Amino acid sequence: MTSRSALHLSFQAGLCLLLTGALTATQLACNRGKIPQGLPTFELKSASFSGDTIPNQYSSCGGEANDSPVLTWQSPPARTQSLALIVTDPDAPIGNFTHWVLYDLPPDTRELPQAILKKEQLPNGSRQGVNDFGEIGYDGPCPPDPSAHRYVFDLYALDTKLNLPAGASKKQVIAAMNGHILARGQLTGRFQR
């Protein structure tokens, strides 16, 4: 088992212990975020995927490049002031394990190139948050089990800049987006070790 897989399992085991404690249903729902249903949509796609399969190059399993994939999208709504991207694995044993948090992308951005640097602030002014590996930037798929997992890329068009400091968590970004989401683009890829 790679050290990254061991970290993933250790993190999940710790959260599972926490979840079996005295958390209420309301607290659990809060941890999942408050993204409204039925949002207008816009297209999000990736030339990096092979169909819906995420190639090994975009994996964090030992020996792989662990590059973020190329993402492209169509124009978001006219009132968009910034974009935010959150990538999660809903098939993780704890559910919704976060692989990437990126926010305050300029509204005229229409693509992310491959291999975004793991820096808190990018040259275009956008900021990266902390993923569930405890690291800044993108860390790709490397599920702790051999079954195929889905990796959901959610791109949100917002009517404001979040102006959060770099290194924010997914929970902080979702809380700041509350009431400001105009539309969402969604792309799901699959990865299996």
pLDDT, tens only, 15-57: 333 333 332 233 333 334 568 888 999 999 999 999 999 999 9
For 105-122, what is each residue's pLDDT tens digit? Answer: 999 999 999 999 999 999
Which domains can be identified in the chain, with CATH numbers? 3-191 (3.90.280.10)
For the chain, the distance separating the N- and C-terminal CA atoms, rounded to the nearest angstrom, is 11
The pTM for the full model equals: 0.82
Q: Rounded distance, CA 175 to CA 164, Å? A: 11
Whole-number pLDDT of residue 35 = 84
* Higher-confidence position of 32 and 191: 191
Positive or negative torsion for Cα 35, 36, 38, 41: negative
CB atoms within 10 A of CB 171: 15
**Contacts from 51-55 at CB under 8 Å and sequence distance 24+?**
52/188, 52/189, 52/190, 53/189, 53/190, 53/191, 54/140, 54/141, 54/151, 54/189, 54/190, 54/191
Give residue for tokens 């190639």. 55
